[in-house]
Amino acid sequence: MTTFSHISVNDVANFQGDVTIVDIRDPQSFANGHMPNAAQLNNDNFAAFIDQTPKDIPVVVVCYHGVSSQQAAQVIAQQGFETVYSMDGGFEAWRLANPVVRHSDLIKVHNVHLYFLQLLQYFSIKRLYTAPLVYVISHSYSSASG
């Protein structure tokens, strides 16, 4: 394929099968919120993306409002990818009705996990019985991250 196609937010949300989602917004915007399973794509990692991404898996390019993603999608399509889309409306349209991953949410889950590990270490040092605590930690962490 040497050109890209447009795809709606709804079609991306309901996409069946494997898809690679790349977000070309700036790093701060990406950290503040991005689509689940999206990878940030920029000039620093573009060559690695081209080399390491299977050409037969569809690629969806996301920007702020669906404008600059069109040019990026065209460049990616010209690198030999079979199916490349530019998502209409961009991330701003996505976030209105779909889940968003925020870097701060990931940090909160990580910090809770670290707190539980510190508790476990404290109880282990004191040689207290820790089996109930291990159970709580493992179930709390899997619920918070999942």
pLDDT at 122: 55
CA dist list (Å): 133 to 60, 108, 111, 113, 128: 43, 20, 17, 13, 10
Q: Which of 24, 59, 61, 63 is catalytic?
A: 63
Are residues 88 and 138 both part of a single domain? no
Give, for all 146 residues of the chain, the pLDDT tens digit.
Answer: 579 999 999 999 999 999 999 999 999 999 999 999 999 999 999 999 999 999 999 999 999 999 999 999 999 999 999 999 999 999 999 999 999 998 655 444 445 555 555 655 655 554 544 445 444 444 444 444 44
pLDDT at 110: 47
Domain count, the chain: 2
Are residues 84 and 113 both part of a single domain? no
pLDDT at 133: 46
Question: Which CATH number do you get for residue 45?
Answer: 3.40.250.10
Are residues 41 and 74 both part of a single domain? yes
Are residues 41 and 23 both part of a single domain? yes
Taking the C-alpha atoms of residue 100 and residue 96, their distance in angstroms, rounded to an integer, is: 9
Are residues 75 and 133 both part of a single domain? no
Are residues 112 and 69 both part of a single domain? no
Are residues 13 and 30 both part of a single domain? yes
75 is catalytic: no
Residue span of the structural domain in which 62 resides: 5-94
Contact assessment for residue 75 and residue 51, using Cβ atoms and an 8 Å cutoff: no
Are residues 38 and 69 both part of a single domain? yes
Are residues 52 and 87 both part of a single domain? yes
- Whether the pTM exceeds 0.75: the reply is no
Residues near 83 by beta carbon (within 8 Å), at least 6 away in sequence: 1, 5, 58, 59
Are residues 85 and 107 both part of a single domain? no
